[in-house]
Structures are given as structure tokens and as C-alpha cells.
Chains A and B, each alone.
Chain A
Amino acid sequence: MNAPAILAENINTHYGRSHILRGVSFRVAPGETVSLLGRNGMGKTTLLRTLAGLVRPSSGSVRLNGNDVTGERASARSRAGLAIVPEGRGIFPNLTVAENLTFASRANRKGERPWPLDRVYTLFPRLAERRHHWGNELSGGEQQMLSIGRALMTSPSIILLDEATEGLAPKLRDEIWSTVKQITQSGIAAIIVDKNLNDLLALADRNTIMAKGEIVFDGPSAALRADEALIHRHLGV
């Protein structure tokens, strides 16, 4: 049986004296798509950043494809197959589109490059058209495409998408979701944070709701859709 793409156990994360993640345990199977839901400030971004190694947890462990990466830096986790598309996109404004994409281009542990530059340009033709433009010359949607494309070029086994469609027009949002579907169908596991519940329910194999730094629900889309009280309690405005 394959090891989970990511397995976090009993994670506690603090910012100063604030206890943000409270004993979170979390698992994503290879190729699985999991949505991470919850109101603002419930710990979703902190969980993604902790998994990516950008925030050091106070306790708990993280395993990536079966390997313990708890003490590893974000760079080591990236090289081990974890990619993050952060909130705000993290585009390098002073690098061109092509430079952003090839910045961290690398093969996976099997020596394969499932997402070479040509395939990324096929996935996002707009990026091919704008390959010589600076990162800060792109629209919000193009920046999101660039951030996803750059993550794919690291040949990840799991991709973390934080606020994947934030600030995008509905048409662009649909374009991003369609792309994310193609990516997950290629076998890459994904954890997606976004505010569009219906889109996520349609896309995800499983949904996890966080409240006050804890996981309060974990189950398939059908079960979540059926529990209106739960949706109202944890996701309603």
C-alpha cells in the first residue's frame, strides 16, 4: 500500500503566545484532492504553511510520501515533492514569466519531468504569449496561472493551493478550476483552500473543515452537502 502523500500528526503551531493549530492530524492519499474549509482565521493558511515548512510547529510530525520531514526546511520539502501556491501568489516581479517558470524546474525522485515547460505553456497558453513579460506586468489571473505553472515545474507529488481563485472574475475562476482538475487527474495530490464552497465540493474527493485551529469535519462532498447545519455553523457568513 502506498504511503500517504502527506501525513501530519498532532500538529500544534503557535504565533507568539497565540495557539493557532491545536493537535491537528491530517492525511492526504496519493492523487487525492482535499478541500480545506473554514471561516477566516481558523488556521487553514497556517496549516498549509506548517505542512510546507514555512512555519515551524511547536509539536507534532509531518511525513511526506512516507518520509519524516518534520525537522526539514521548506526547501528540502520542496525538493521532496511538495509545492505550494501561496495566498498572494508569490510571483517574483523582477523575473520574467519564463524565468519565474524555470526558476525551480527540476525532475522528481524518479528522474522524470512530468511537467516540462512546453506542457505548462500548453496548459496555460496565456503564459506562453507573455513569456518575456515581467512578473509584475501580469493580471491577477495570469499571476495565478504562473504560480501554479511554476509549482508544477518542480515535479511535485502534492500541491497546496491557498486561496486559489481569490480576486478572480468568474470566468477566470472556472478556468483555474478546470486546470486544477487536469492537474489532479494527472496524479498529483492537492490540498485546496478557497472560499467558493460549491466549486470545491464539485472538485474535491474529500473535505476538511477547520474551526479555531481544530479539524471539526472530515468527509466526502455528499456528506457535507447533506449537513446544512454543519455548513451553516462553520462556513456560513
Chain B
Amino acid sequence: MDLALIQLLNGVQYGLLIFLAASGLTLVFGIMGVINLSHGSFYMLGAYCALTLTQFTGDIFLSLLLGVPLAFVFGVIIEWLFIRRLYDRDHLQQVLLTFALILIFNEAQKLLWGSHPHSVPVPGYLQGGFKISELLTYPYYRVAVAAFCVALALGMMFVIQKTRIGRVIRAGESNREMVEALGIDSRLLFRFVFAAGVALAATAGIVAAPLESVYPGIGEPILIISFVVVVIGGIGSIKGAFLGAILIGVADALGKVYFPAFSSSVVYALMAAVLIARPGGLFGRAA
């Protein structure tokens, strides 16, 4: 029972983390129509950013304060250099270019940080955990990460639903051309959305760094799982990404306990079930 509870908590916390990464991916895909295979690289960038910045600041949350704006600026540069050339091109060309970016980022990572795994320390004030039973505790840091992710998710939903930029993002998801025809420069909108997506993926990478080793290719599993979340939630839907990420996180964590032989396929079975019931995803337009 304790193990199930721990796994449930882990699943929710993992789901919240992949929500951060997947929300950026769903916005970029939903609004800009770009399949961005390099999205996982920005998660990796965040994790390595956490490694370096924490060596200077000594605290993962201070690293977050510095790392997120850096990631946003990096996103602006990458959009301006590469991504904006993809808007009028087909998906195959998008896949080719963003796959090339993965290779470039991986090589850059090896040059800058080497091929060995690294660890990022949990801040001293978040060492230890809540006692769940005589034998089990749940780490404070995981609770803090979950709370941070929930706060960020609520903030994002507020921005999307209640602010002018949120209205523009929602409108862009349904009709990009009309947004432009009504006087909104879609180049700036796309640049902002892409950079925000990079910042969200990097944020996930930064807060996840103390939870696992920081190693080459750390972003690739996140990319795949983020695509699964986007498909389950419905392309372009933040609400869908949130629900999809929690479902995936919990299914993955419980699958490892109750269906260990099939644990790697549980999330894909879930995706298939959702697609059979709702081909456009939970909150997406009908396919």
C-alpha cells in the first residue's frame, strides 16, 4: 500500500514535470505548425544549465531564476536563425532540420560538459522528507518540484485564458492567417511562442536535474514522452497537455509496480486507447 502511494506521488510529480516540457511542445506544434524534434535538447540544455549555474549560485532555485531568461533568449536566437525558415515548408523538412539541431546540440554538450554523468545537489533546506510510514519517506524536494509545477501550470492557464497574449495564442492555434490579418505580426508571435516553449522545456530540465543524473541524451526520452502527451491531450491544448501528462506520469509509475514486464508499453497503450476513443486527443479538435 505504501509503495503504491509512493508510486502514485512519483507519478503525479513526474507527470507535472513532463507537463512543463510538453506544454512548450504543444504550443509550438499547435500554433506554429512546426514539428520540433529538438525540443528534448532544450530540456537537456536546462539540466546542464542547472549543473553549471548551481556550481556558481549553490542553489537550484537561484539557477532557475538565471537559467529561464537565458533559455528564453536562446530560444529567440534559435527561432531567428533556423526555425522561422520552416514555417512555409512541409513537415519532412521540419523534421530534418530539427533532427540536425539535436545532433548539433548533442555535440555541443559533449564539448562543453563531456560525456560523463553529473549530479546536481538538492538544496540543504530541502534535504530529507515527509514520513509516510515507518520505512518510507517522501522527499521534500519532490514535493517542492510538484508545487512549483502546479503553480506554473496555474500561471500558464491564467495567462492563456485571461490575458491579451493568451487570447492571441488561442486565436493563433485556431486560425494563424486571421491573426495576421487582424494586425498581429505573426513573426513576433511565433518567436515569442517558440522562445516560451524553449524556456518551459529548460525549466523542466533545471528542476529535474537534482532528481536524476545529468547525462548526455537526457532530453531524448522526454521528447518522446512529450509527443505522447501532446497526442493524448490534443495538439495545441495546454489543458490537454496537463491532463495527458498526469495520466502518463501515473500510468508509467504504477505500470512499473503492477505490470513490470510491460512497463515500457503502458503509456503507449494508454495513448492508443485515447486515440481510439477521441482521435483528436482529449481536448483537441476532431481529427
The answer to whether B178 and A78 touch across the interface, beta carbons within 8 angstroms, is no
B182 near A: Cβ within 8 Å? yes
**B183 with A154: CB separation less than 8 A:** yes
Query: If the complex has contacts A94-B173, A95-B167, A99-B167, are A79 and B183 also in contact, measured as CB distance less than 8 A?
Result: yes
B212 within 8 A of A: no
Q: Tell me if A75 and B180 are in contact (CB < 8 A).
A: yes
Contact yes or no, B178 A86, CB < 8 A: yes
Size of the chain B interface, CB-CB below 8 angstroms? 17
B134 within 8 A of A: no
Please give the distance in Å from B113's CB to the nearest CB on chain A: 41
**B181 in complex: contacting residue of A52, A93, A106, CB < 8 Å:** A52
Q: A95-B167, A99-B167 are in contact. Are A54 and B180 (CB under 8 A)?
A: yes
A150 within 8 A of B: yes
A77-115 vs B, Cβ < 8 Å mask (1 yes, 0 no): 011000010100010111100010001101000000000
Task: Tell me if B133 counts as interface (CB < 8 A to partner A).
Answer: no
Tell me if B182 and A78 are in contact (CB < 8 A): yes
Chain A: interface residue total (CB-CB under 8 A): 22
Residues of A within 8 A of B174 (CB): 92-95
Q: Tell which of A75, A92, A93, A95 touches B183, judged by Cβ atoms closer than 8 Å.
A: A75
A73 close to B (CB within 8 Å): yes
Chain B CB within 8 A of A74 CB: yes
State how many angstroms separate the Cβ of B172 from the closest Cβ of chain A: 9
B161 to chain A, nearest CB (A): 10
Report the separation of the CA atoms of residues A92 and B179 in the bound assembly, to the nearest whole angstrom: 9
Smallest CB-CB A-B distances: 10 pairs: A78-B183, A104-B182, A90-B178, A92-B171, A75-B185, A79-B183, A74-B180, A74-B181, A104-B183, A75-B183
Q: Show 20 residue pairs from A and B whose CB-CB distance is below 8 angstroms, ordered by the A residue.
A: A53-B181, A54-B180, A73-B185, A75-B183, A78-B182, A79-B183, A86-B178, A86-B181, A90-B175, A90-B178, A92-B178, A93-B174, A94-B171, A94-B173, A94-B174, A95-B171, A95-B174, A99-B167, A103-B168, A104-B184
